[in-house]
Structure 1
Amino acid sequence: MTESFLQNHNVLVIEDEYLVAMDLHDKLRNHGAIVVGPVGRLDEALAVIEAGTTIDSAILDINLGGQAAYPAADLLQQRNIPFVFTTGYDDSAIPARFHDVVSLKKPVEARKLLQALVNA
């Protein structure tokens, strides 16, 4: 199911840790996804989303170089683009407006992340 869902599916990766971003990139591509990014800064994420780039779903690290990524999450929600959070933080750090968004704890197991994207 995951492989067919992700085939030619445009996934925006918003992650500031280079190795984590490259790992996500590789895993997504291996499942047929088209990876948008990765981008590692909030301003870059906002620019990609605002540019009208085709994005079917997104993976969003909550902390981007010390900046909360919630403005990007707000913009994704406004554009009805499903996404999942990845974080090292406790769920209590996530604002209530995102209570329906899946939040996965780092390090994230690939299978759980891919399944979360399918269900987002």
Structure 2
Amino acid sequence: MSPVVTLDWMPVCPLDRLDLDRGVAALVDGVQVAVFRTASGLYAVDNLDPVGGAYVMSRGLVGSRGGVPTLSSPLHKQVYDLTTGRCLDLPGVTLTRHRVRCRDGQVEVRLRQEQ
């Protein structure tokens, strides 16, 4: 398994620009990231659909299963756990998650990349 490199926090947008349960795509240090604001918090994942191979996850549907926040791919409807990135429909498939925070009203993302 490759080590994970954690990069610097990068500003994405003001928190009030994120609609509840809607995603936005952002380019963070050359990586397309999908950022979501839900009732349970902020989430950031790769915008690349690991099954369909297209950069569309920011257009996915936010929901929940058993109280866990989820994201459904807009292409083939696979459902991912936003807290872990694990696909709930296809064993072994994951969506890369990134750290996200709100600091002084600004949403910031810290990439996680494998070397």
Per residue, is there more helix in 1 or in 2?
A: 1
TM-score by length of 2: 0.29
TM-score by length of 1: 0.28
Tell me: higher relative CO, structure 1 or 2? Use CA pairs within 8 A at least 6 residues apart: 2
